[in-house]
Amino acid sequence: MSTWLANAVDRGGATNDWLSPKRQQSLELLQQSRWPTRKTEAWKYTSVNMLVDATFAETSDGIFDAPELIDNLDSIDLLLVDGVLRSDIGDLPSGLSIYSIADTPIEQREWAAEVFTGAKPSKHYFGLVNDVLATAGVLIDVAEGVKVDRPIRVICRQSNGCESHTRILMRLGSNAEAVIIEDFAGEVKSFNTGFSEYIVGESATLEHYRIAMNTGEAISIGGCHFNLNYRSALNSTVVGLGSSLSRLDIDVNHIGEYATAKLNAFYLLNGSETFDLHSSIEHIAANGTSEENVRGIVADSSRAVFNGRIHIHRNAQKTLAELNNRNLLLSRNAEIYTKPELEIYADDVRCAHGATIAEIDKEALYYLQSRGMSKAQAQIMLSFGFINELVDQMPNQNLAAWLRPHLRRRFAEMESTQ
């Protein structure tokens, strides 16, 4: 048993707010679960030993630099520092409502309590921890038929030595459209769990980004969980850097028929970083489609873990599901663990997955060299292209334009460690 956990459970048990009944259920589940070890399948390749006896401060009043603005994005920014909402929720476009979880008006609590643990399965150990401890976070409601034209950017930052647990709960009414950016970054010694849940209504469209850029000593364990209703659409992009421990669980539940999900994820790892991505696509209803592309470049002595599961339930006939995972391993000390899984109980479906771990394509390398580029330059260009192909696919190209220089900088660092 972890002393950190025992401490956290004590704190959680003492919490008394409008979500307490739900928190209590999760607390019981947590008490029945075993602390994850390398024998726990979901944590086979990533150790959480460093958390066993860890101690963090609960909050700090540290003064924070304003987060970097993203050119031309015109986003609605919500800054959470150590899990506490620091922004004023100002004027919002009509049909969009945002509340702090701590100050949720009584009339909003009923639906919000349904979203809470409504999309996130209880199997995630730290998801349960977040259920119990996340008293801060935001609640976002997009009314039926409303198209929110400005992206909503939830910016989560940690201060040195702090622990924080944040939650994002979002509901899109039928035919609604919205863009959300979950922006996690920072490298100071800290620990955050950031879990988000989305209920996407009938024929609604959600464009989602998780910037998982906690790096250095910032331990980050989080998850993004989606319920897709009839004919709804999800387009999600995960951008990952690694840290001393960085883990993300994605769950997409096709609850209604004819829902579509497109997931892209890419990560660039350096130093002794770990990035562990688990995704699970649950095709529960029929006629759904899902397409997932995951790419990683792993340098120095870093390690990448990917577990991608597609689960076709008995009634999910006519499903189309594809998953592709490609990795470039740049160094002798780096490690890649990948496990694409299919679990299929319906016969009239088309499912495929593929995974490769390889070097840079020799033919492409020769092509570039035959035009006069040096091998080193060609290698960088091809590695960047490998990732940039997914950056190009981001629906919001303003965000992509902001991201590219960050990625280039990371490439330069990775190259220098080779």
Partner 1 sequence: MTEQIDQALEREYEAGFVSDIESETFAPGLDEDVIRRISAMKSEPDWMLEWRLKAFKTWQQMEEPEWAHVDYQKIDFQAISYYSAPKSMADKPKSLDEVDPELLATYEKLGIPLLEQQMLAGVAVDAVFDSVSVVTTFREKLWEAGVIFCPISEAVQEYPELVKKYLGSVVPQRDNYFAALNCAVFTDGSFVYIPKGTRCPMELSTYFRINEQNTGQFERTLIIADEGSHVSYLEGCTAPQRDENQLHAAVVELVALDDAEIKYSTVQNWYPGDENGKGGIYNFVTKRAVCHTNAKVSWTQVETGSAVTWKYPSCILRGDNSIGEFYSVALTRGMQQADTGTKMIHMGKNTRSTIISKGISAGRSNNSYRGLVRMGPRADGARNFTQCDSLLIGDQCGAHTFPYVETKNPTAIVEHEATTSKVSDDQMFLCQQRGLDAEKAVSMIVNGFCKEVFKELPMEFAVEAGKLLEISLEGSVG
Partner 2 sequence: MSMLSIKNLHASVEDKTILNGLDLDIKPGEVHAIMGPNGAGKSTLGYVVSGREGYNVEQGTAVLDGVELLELDAEERARAGLFLAFQYPVEIPGVSNMEFMKASVDAQREARGEAALSSRDFLTMAKEACSKVQLPLAFLKRGVNEGFSGGEKKRNEIMQMLLLEPKLCILDESDSGLDIDALQVVADGVNSLRSDDRSFIVITHYQRLLDYIKPDFVHVLSEGKIIKTGGAELAHELEAQGYAWLTGDSAENTAETSA
Binding site for partner 2 (CB under 8 A): 361-364, 366-375, 377-378, 381-382, 384-392
**Residue 103 DSSP label:** G
Q: For the chain, how far is it from start to end, CA to CA, in angstroms? A: 39
Name the maximum alpha-carbon separation found in the chain. 68
Beta carbons within 8 Å of 24's beta carbon, 6+ residues apart? none
Size of the site for partner 1 (CB under 8 A): 34
Using the rule CB under 8 A, is 73 a contact of partner 1?
no
Phi and psi of 399, rounded to 5°? -65, -40
Stretch that binds partner 1, among 18-26, 145-153, 268-276, 322-330 (CB under 8 A): 322-330
Q: Which of 319, 299, 301 is nearest to 311 (CA)?
A: 319
Using the rule CB under 8 A, is 263 a contact of partner 1?
no
Using the rule CB under 8 A, is 334 a contact of partner 1?
yes
Length of the chain: 418
Please report how close the Cβ of residue 236 comes to partner 2 at its closest, in angstroms.
19
DSSP string, 125-161: HHHHHHHHH--EEEEEEE-TT-B--SPEEEEEE--TT
Nearer to partner 1, 40 or 398 (CB): 40
What is the spatial distance between Cα 262 and Cα 188, in angstroms, rounded to a whole number?
A: 32
Q: 106-125: string of b/e by CB count within 10 Å (b at 16+)?
A: eeebeebbebbbbbbeeebb
For partner 1, the binding residue among 105, 354, 393, 409 (CB under 8 A) is: 354
Please report how close the Cβ of residue 347 comes to partner 1 at its closest, in angstroms.
4
Stretch that binds partner 1, among 180-188, 252-260, 268-276, 352-360 (CB under 8 A): 352-360
Q: Any idea what the Cα angle at residue 380 is, between residues 376 and 384, rounded to 5°? A: 170
Contact call for residues 369 and 216 (beta carbons, < 8 A): no
402 binds, among partner 2, partner 1, none (CB under 5 to 8 A by kind): none
Q: Any idea what the Cα angle at residue 399 is, between residues 396 and 402, rounded to 5°? A: 150
Nearer to partner 1, 345 or 367 (CB): 345
For partner 1, the binding residue among 262, 353, 404, 406 (CB under 8 A) is: 353
Please report how close the Cβ of residue 344 comes to partner 1 at its closest, in angstroms.
5
Using the rule CB under 8 A, is 347 a contact of partner 1?
yes
371 binds, among partner 1, partner 2, none (CB under 5 to 8 A by kind): partner 2
372 binds, among partner 1, partner 2, none (CB under 5 to 8 A by kind): partner 2
What is the spatial distance between Cα 301 and Cα 332, in angstroms, rounded to a whole number?
A: 8
Please report how close the Cβ of residue 374 comes to partner 2 at its closest, in angstroms.
6
Using the rule CB under 8 A, is 359 a contact of partner 1?
yes
Nearer to partner 2, 318 or 326 (CB): 326
Using the rule CB under 8 A, is 338 a contact of partner 1?
yes
Please report how close the Cβ of residue 264 comes to partner 2 at its closest, in angstroms.
12
Using the rule CB under 8 A, is 346 a contact of partner 1?
yes
Q: Which of 273, 343, 284, 333 is nearest to 308 (CA)?
A: 343
Report the DSSP beta bridge partners of residue 305. Answer: 276, 337
What is the spatial distance between Cα 381 and Cα 190, in angstroms, rounded to a whole number?
A: 34
381 binds, among partner 1, partner 2, none (CB under 5 to 8 A by kind): partner 2
Nearer to partner 1, 45 or 191 (CB): 45
Stretch that binds partner 1, among 163-171, 183-191, 263-271, 342-350 (CB under 8 A): 342-350
Which residues are at the interface with partner 1 (CB under 8 A)?
A: 41, 314, 317, 327, 329-332, 334-359
